[in-house]
Amino acid sequence: METVLITGSNRGLGLEWARQYAEAGWRVLATCRRPEQAESLTRLARRHPGVSIHRLDVTLPKQVEALAGELAGERLDLLVNNAGVYFERWGRDRLGQIDYPAWMETFSVNTLGAFRVTEALLPCLVRSEKALVVNISSHMGSIADIQAPNDYAYRSSKAALNAASRGLAHELAARGIGLLLLHPGWVRTRMGGESAPLSVQESVHGMREIVQRFDLDQSGHFYRYDGVELPW
Q: Which residues here bind ligand NAP, judged by CB under 6 A?
A: 7-8, 10-14, 32-34, 56-59, 82-85, 109, 136, 138, 183-184, 186-187, 189-192, 196
Whole-number minimum distance, CB 129 to ligand NAP, in Å?
28
Cα four-point dihedral sign 17, 184, 209, 133: negative
Query: Which runs of consecutive H residues, i.e. helices, occur in 35-97?
Result: 39-47, 61-70
Q: Please say which residue, 13 or 230, places its beta carbon nearer to ligand NAP.
A: 13
CA-to-CA distance for 74 and 52, rounded, in angstroms? 14
Which residue numbers are catalytic?
154
Least separation in angstroms between residue 12's CB and ligand NAP is 2
CA distance 204 to 119: 24
Cα–Cα distances in angstroms (integers) from residue 163 to residues 24, 82, 89, 214, 216, in the given order: 32, 17, 25, 20, 18
For 98, phi then psi, to 5°, come to -80, 135
- Rank residues 40 and 176 by Cβ distance to ligand NAP and give the closer one: 40
Nearer to ligand NAP, 142 or 219 (CB): 142
CB of 198 to ligand NAP, least distance (A): 7
